[in-house]
Amino acid sequence: NAGVTQTPKFQVLKTGQSMTLQCAQDMNHEYMSWYRQDPGMGLRLIHYSVGAGITDQGEVPNGYNVSRSTTEDFPLRLLSAAPSQTSVYFCASSYVSGEKLFFGSGTQLSVL
């Protein structure tokens, strides 16, 4: 039982590049979400999904896309990376929305 797995752990991008952060969970959780963590600002919700085929925006969705084609996977796409997207990104899942979240180990992203 791996829990929530995120890849990559570290990534450096140039401004304007695109990339996908991967997230997979093996706990059959319906709810999955992406947060970004910035110093002094805590965790801010980017996008979330309450089940396969259903996604919605969180607090800071601009510049990011998500999709949920399977229960297990919830990738986060950066369309055109900007320095303001330099952050640590966490994927999290739970059985239902608003319940105890299980977090991945994070992806540290730097945009130059």
Per-residue DSSP letters for 61-84? -TTEEE--SSSSB--EEESS--GG
Site for other proteins (CB under 8 A): which residue of 12, 41, 79, 112?
41
d(CA 17, CA 69): 24
With 0-12 / 13-18 / 19 or more C-beta atoms within 10 angstroms meaning exposed / middle / buried, residue 76 is buried
**In 3-state terms, what secondary structure has residue 32?**
strand
Q: Does 105 bind other proteins (CB under 8 A)?
A: yes
**In 3-state terms, what secondary structure has residue 46?**
strand
User: Residue 29 CB, nearest distance to other proteins (Å)?
Assistant: 14
Site for other proteins (CB under 8 A): which residue of 78, 101, 109, 111?
101
User: Residue 107 CB, nearest distance to other proteins (Å)?
Assistant: 10
Site for other proteins (CB under 8 A): which residue of 27, 43, 52, 82?
43
Binding site for other proteins (CB under 8 A): 4, 33, 35, 40-43, 45, 48, 50, 56, 58, 90, 92, 96-106
